[in-house]
Amino acid sequence: MSKQEKIEQALGAQFPEDDISVTDYAGDGDHFTIKITSKKFKGMGLVQRQRLVNEALKKVDEDVHAYQFDLKD
């Protein structure tokens, strides 16, 4: 399973009803853009949203150099 697939799987478990997009923006398997639209984010600030996503990403047992987040409610 690729890093991108592992990321998608972990996020899908945390946000099962939501729109999730994971893109390898550098093409090297080490830099990913994560876009999520979730009702869970309603009323949360940016840092709270990022913490929620980072909690899900802890389950991905891979080294990733960088994530870019686009998190909307």
| Sign of the torsion angle spanned by Cα atoms 72, 30, 5, 58 | negative
Per-residue pLDDT of the chain (73 residues; tens, 9 = 90+): 999 999 999 999 999 999 999 999 999 999 999 999 999 999 999 999 999 999 999 989 788 999 999 999 9
Question: Where are the domains positioned within the chain?
Answer: 3-72
Answer yes or no: CATH 3.30.300.90 is held by domain 3-72. yes
> What's at 67, amino acid-wise?
Y
Tell me 1's DSSP state: -
Residue owning tokens 């099962």: 16
Please enumerate in sequence order all residues whose Cβ is within 8 A of that of 13, keeping only pairs 6 or more positions apart, or say none: 56, 59
Q: Model pTM?
A: 0.92
User: Helices in 1-73 by DSSP H: which ranges?
Assistant: 3-14, 46-57
